[in-house]
C-alpha cells in the first residue's frame, strides 16, 4: 500500500486476498462467493476483489494478505514514474529467485502469480533480466482508461467537459433525457440506452441463459462488440464501493434495512441532500462526476417514501 496504493484507483485489478475486518465494522465491503449466484460480505474470509475494494477495506482498518492477482495501471495514472524503483527492487528479487530456484524455473515461478513480487516484475519492462541468464518476461502495455475516467479531474470539472468519446456519449444521452419529464416515454428511453452501456460491456461474461423469442428456445447470451471485462469490473466495483462507503458513514443512530446494486432502504430522512466529504474517496468522486455530466452535484436520489411501515 505504501508504494502502490494510490495507483489502485486508476488501474484495472483482479486480486485474491485473505482479509479480517475489526468486529466493529458494521458493513464489511469484501465479497465472498458461496456459489454461482450467491455472494455475502463477512468480517473475514477469502475474497476475489478489485483494488477499489482493497482501498475501501483498508480505510476500515481491515487486515489484508494478498494471495495473487493482476494489476494493470491506466496510462495516465503516473505509474511509470515508479520505473526506477521497480527495476531496483525487481533485480534484487530476481537475483534471490535465481539462487533459490535455478535459472530454468524462474519464468515458471513468476507468471502464475503476477502480484507475487509486489506488483513488480510483470508490469515493469524487465530490462534488468539479462538474456544470458533468463528469457525476458514480456510486459503487457498499460491500457487506455475509458475516456470518462481519463479526462475526469476532481479539482477541475471543466476539463472533463471536453473529454473523450465515453464522456461525450454519456453526457449527450443525459442531456437528451433531461429534456423530457421524469417517467415519460422519451425520458425512460434515453435512460435505457445510457444504462445499456455497462450491460453490453459485461454481456456474455457469465454465460447466462435466456429465452429467445425468435426460436422459442433457451440459449446462452453471446458476447457483444462492446464486451470488456476490465471496464465492466472497474465500473461495477466502483459503484459497489461508493454504496458501501455511504453505508459505513451512515448516521449510527439510524438503520439500514436492505441494499440493492445501487441503493438502500433507510429510516434516515433527507439523504438526498447529502454532500460527501472529500475524505470519502468514492462518494466524492461520484458526486463530482455527476456534476460534470449534469451540471449539478448529486449523490443520492429518493426513490420512494413511506410513513406507514416497511415491506422489503
Question: Which tens digit of pLDDT belongs to each residue from 58-89?
Answer: 999 999 998 888 878 787 776 654 443 444 44
The DSSP secondary structure of 243-269, one letter per residue, reads: HHHHHHTS-TTS-EEEE-SS-EEES-T
Region label for 309, one of left (φ > 0), alpha (ψ between -120 and 50) or beta (otherwise): left
The DSSP secondary structure of 122-149, one letter per residue, reads: TTS--TTS-TTTSPPPP-PPPBPPPHHH
CA gap 24, 44 in Å, rounded: 13
On the 0-12 / 13-18 / 19+ scale of CB atoms within 10 A, 110 is: buried
Give 186-189 contacts, CB < 8 A, sequence gap 24+.
none
- Quickly tell me which residue has 502480484 as its cell: 115
How do residues 188-220 score in pLDDT, each as one tens digit? 999 999 888 878 888 887 778 889 898 999 998
The β-bridge partners of 35 are: none
* pLDDT value at residue 163: 61
The β-bridge partners of 65 are: 18
Across the chain, what does the average pLDDT equal?
A: 75
Confidence of residue 311 (pLDDT cuts 50, 70, 90): low
CA count, 13 A, side-chain hemisphere, 290 = 14
Confidence of residue 18 (pLDDT cuts 50, 70, 90): very high
SS3 string, 21-40, reads CCCCCCCCCCCEECCCCCEE
Contact between 12 and 77 (Cβ < 8 Å):
no
| C-alpha torsion sign, points 159, 165, 170, 175 | positive
Confidence of residue 114 (pLDDT cuts 50, 70, 90): very low
**How far apart are the two ends of the chain, measured CA to CA in Å?**
39
Residue 211 vs residues 36, 222, 303: alpha-carbon distances, Å = 20, 13, 31
In whole angstroms, how large is the CA radius of gyration of the chain? 22
In this structure, what C-alpha cell is assigned to residue 26?
A: 458494521
pTM: 0.71
Taking residue 159's Cβ as centre, other Cβ atoms within 10 Å add up to 13
CA count, 13 A, side-chain hemisphere, 229 = 8
Contact between 297 and 275 (Cβ < 8 Å):
yes
Above 70 in pLDDT, residue 47? yes
The DSSP secondary structure of 71-104, one letter per residue, reads: EEEBGGGSGGGGHHHHHHHHHHHHHHHHHHH-GG
Above 90 in pLDDT, residue 280? yes
Above 90 in pLDDT, residue 128? no
Contact between 22 and 209 (Cβ < 8 Å):
no
Contact between 123 and 140 (Cβ < 8 Å):
yes
How do residues 212-268 score in pLDDT, each as one tens digit? 898 999 998 888 788 888 888 898 899 999 999 999 998 889 988 888 888 999 999
Amino acid at each position: 500500500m505504501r508504494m502502490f496504493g494510490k495507483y489502485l484507483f486508476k488501474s484495472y485489478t483482479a486480486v485474491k486476498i485473505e482479509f479480517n475486518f475489526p468486529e466493529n465494522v458494521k458493513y464489511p465491503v469484501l465479497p465472498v462467493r458461496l456459489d454461482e449466484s450467491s455472494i455475502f460480505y463477512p468480517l473475514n474470509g477469502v475474497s476475489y476483489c478489485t483494488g477499489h475494494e482493497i482501498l475501501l477495506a483498508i480505510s476500515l482498518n481491515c487486515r489484508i494478505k494478498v494471495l495473487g492477482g493482476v494489476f494493470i495501471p491506466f496510462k495516465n495514472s503516473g505509474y511509470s514514474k515508479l520505473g526506477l524503483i521497480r527495476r531496483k527492487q525487481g533485480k534484487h528479487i530476481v537475483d534471490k529467485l535465481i539462487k533459490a530456484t535455478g535459472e530454468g524455473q524462474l519464468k515458471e515461478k513468476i507468471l502464475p502469480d503476477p502480484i507475487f513480487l509486489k506488483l513488480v516484475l510483470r508490469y515493469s519492462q524487465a530490462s534488468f533480466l539479462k538474456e544470458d541468464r533468463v528469457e525476458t518476461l514480456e510486459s503487457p502495455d498499460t491500457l487506455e482508461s475509458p475516456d470518462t475516467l481519463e479526462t475526469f479531474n476532481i479539482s477541475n470539472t471543466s476539463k472533463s467537459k471536453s473529454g473523450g468519446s465515453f464522456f461525450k456519449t454519456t453526457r449527450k444521452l443525459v442531456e437528451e433525457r433531461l429534456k423530457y419529464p421524469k417517467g415519460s416515454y422519451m425520458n425512460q428511453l434515453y435512460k435505457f440506452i445510457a444504462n445499456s452501456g455497462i450491460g453490453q460491456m459485461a454481456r456474455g461474461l457469465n454465460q447466462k441463459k435466456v429465452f429467445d423469442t425468435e426460436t422459442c428456445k433457451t440459449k446462452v447470451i453471446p458476447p457483444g462488440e462492446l464486451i470488456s471485462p476490465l471496464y465492466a469490473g472497474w465500473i461495477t466495483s466502483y459503484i459497489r464501493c461508493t454504496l458501501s462507503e455511504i453505508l459505513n458513514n451512515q448516521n449510527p443512530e439510524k438503520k439500514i434495512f436492505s441494499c440493492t446494486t445501487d441503493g438502500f432502504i433507510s429510516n434516515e430522512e433527507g439523504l438526498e441532500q447529502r454532500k460527501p466529504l472529500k475524505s470519502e474517496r468514492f462518494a466524492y468522486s461520484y458526486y463530482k462526476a455527476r456534476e460534470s455530466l449534469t451540471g449539478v452535484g448529486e449523490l443520492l436520489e429518493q426513490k420512494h417514501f413511506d410513513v406507514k411501515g416497511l415491506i422489503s
